[in-house]
Chain A
Amino acid sequence: MEVAFYLSALIAVAATVLAITRYHAVHALLFLIVSLLALAVVFFIMGAHFAAALEVIIYAGAIMVLFIFAIMMLNLGKATIEWERQLLRPRVWVLPALLTLVLAAELIYLLAIRGGPESSGIELVRPARVGAELFGFYILGVEMAAFLLMAGLVGAYHIGRREKKVIHRYLKKEEV
């Protein structure tokens, strides 16, 4: 189990790095999907089966499909890749790399103090318990998220609404 955990964690990190450094948008998204799937495996190993399933269904299966869908519609060509290549010159990486290094050092320090995650006390979280928590302790958050979604839905409907004009092509007047 330990080996599987570190392997999938490693895959998640590597795929995320690759997702950032790819010049091609679709390839980058594919690596992001791999990273999300690896994260789902991590959740699964940690006993959060429900979270793992939702990670795959919602993030990998729905949100990323929409991303790819949008990028497919744009059909970015070679020019964009060139542009990205110019954008991601080595010099750009210096500051983010430094910041990340600090974070990584902090993380390693904390892990060293605590001696890593306890591998023994993994508790299986059943879907029913997640539901009970969501609609018990976290009910306020759930309701607020519902409000937000409703607002988004109404907004999308408003933007997408258009007067429907159905004119048969034989009835249309010829434009002179």
Chain B
Amino acid sequence: MSETLRLWLIVVGVIALLLTIAPGLIWLERRLLGWWQDRKGPNRVGPFGIFQPLADAIKLIFKEDWIPPFADKPVFILAPAVVVFTAFMSYAIIPLAPGIVVADLNIGVLFFLAMSSLGVYAIVLGGWSSNNKYSLLGAMRGAAQMITYEVFMGISLLGVVMMAGSFNLSEIVLAQQGMWNVVPQFVGFVVFFIAGVAELHRLPFDIPEAESELIAGYHSEYSGMKFGMFFVGEYIGVTMLAGFTTTMFFGGWLGPSFLPGIAWFLLKTFAIIVFIILLRGSLPRPRYDQLMGYGWKILLPLSLINLMVTGYFLLR
């Protein structure tokens, strides 16, 4: 098999995987939330309601795709594209198994951070171009929240980078052969995971869209498949966060040899996705100033201390 063909197969495979996971995740989340909240969840369309996302997608596609006359049209159209684009691009660097990776960059971790920092634009531009005060409020909250949490999301990952001595994700996975990073870097893991959920503005950190205060925040004015893109982008983002956490802290494809590497990777990722859904089902949304204070006053010092202690043990 030629090198180019192999690369194309990996690219198509990753995109197909993500596009299948996104609707599957929507169904899974609603079923799991239903289960945890002692109700049934969607169970009418197909066996166990598994075709519910399909029905939703058909509904969204056939809905009128309305652009408000007061909106800034080009920017309004651009914003949902940015969400999906950045979420997909981040997956390019995650090694699913030894050798199965789209781009094995030597700046892999930085690439992930770059893409997640570009993701802010989706919220900011979407909220601003809607020309609606609730959307603008949501966009402002989103921008502040994501810039804040980006800072120590990067710092919390540096401990792992220092232990592996590389930004390359494959090398980081291989450096975890003795012990998964989650043990020595537990503080880094906790800070990263909280920051990651906040970066995705998922519940409980869905302050930019808080439906009880801001209607739907930055995507209030969106309809049809443009709204759907925000939705799909969020679920691909969840998959991406879970995959990245697996790679950085849970040993990626490593595991006992009775299963192939990719199966281990997918299993761990799936477990983390379920945990993220559980977070949504169990935690209340914090107040906006609480969120910011928590970030700057607790998580930032914590990640810096983690960095310092890691450095001490490495250089000792």
Contacts and interface: CB of A to CB of B under 8 A. Distances in A.
A26 B71 CA distance: 13
Given A27-B75, A50-B107, A60 B143 contact: no
Interface string A39-74: 000000000011011101100111001101100110
Contacts of B72: 26
Contact of B147 (A50, A60, A65): A65
Contacts of A68: 121, 124-125, 128, 143
A50 B110 contact: yes
A65 B147 CA distance: 8
A69 B113 contact: no
Nearest to A72: B128
Contact of B136 (A50, A57, A72, A126): A72
A127 interface: yes
Interface string B131-170: 0000010011001101100100010000000000101000
Contact of B120 (A49, A50, A53, A61): A61
B106 interface: yes
Interface residues of B, number: 30
Given A57-B117, A68-B128, A73-B140, A49 B105 contact: yes
A126 B106 contact: yes
B118 interface: yes
Contact of A65 (B105, B106, B110, B121): B121
A65 B114 contact: no
A49 B146 CA distance: 24
The 4 closest A-B pairs by CB, nearest first: A61-B117, A53-B110, A56-B114, A53-B107
Given A60-B118, A73-B140, A127 B107 contact: yes
Contacts of A26: 72, 75, 128
Contacts, number: 74
Contacts of A52: 107
B111 interface: yes
A26 B120 CA distance: 15
Contacts of B140: 69, 72-73
Interface string B35-63: 00000000000000000000000000000
A33 interface: yes
Nearest to B116: A61
Contacts of B136: 72, 75
A65 B120 contact: yes
A30 interface: yes
A49 B147 contact: no
Given A50-B110, A65-B143, A128-B165, 6 more contacts: A26-B72, A50-B107, A61-B117, A61-B120, A65-B146, A72-B127
Given A50-B107, A57-B114, A61-B150, A72 B124 contact: yes
A89 to B, nearest CB: 25
Contacts of A62: 117, 147, 150
B110 A54 contact: yes
Nearest to B151: A62
A124 to B, nearest CB: 8
B117 A69 contact: no
Given A57-B110, A57-B114, A69-B140, A33 B121 contact: yes
Nearest to B115: A56
A28 to B, nearest CB: 12
B117 A56 contact: yes
A27 B127 CA distance: 15
Give the most central of A52, A65, A73, A126: most B CB within 10 Å. A65
B93 to A, nearest CB: 11
Contacts of B75: 26-27, 30
Given A26-B128, A66-B147, A68-B124, A61 B110 contact: no
Contacts of A57: 110, 113-114, 117, 154
Nearest to A30: B75
Given A62-B150, A68-B124, A72-B136, A49 B143 contact: no
A72 B139 contact: yes
Contacts of B107: 49-50, 52-53, 127
6 contacts: A27-B74, A49-B107, A56-B114, A61-B120, A62-B150, A65-B146
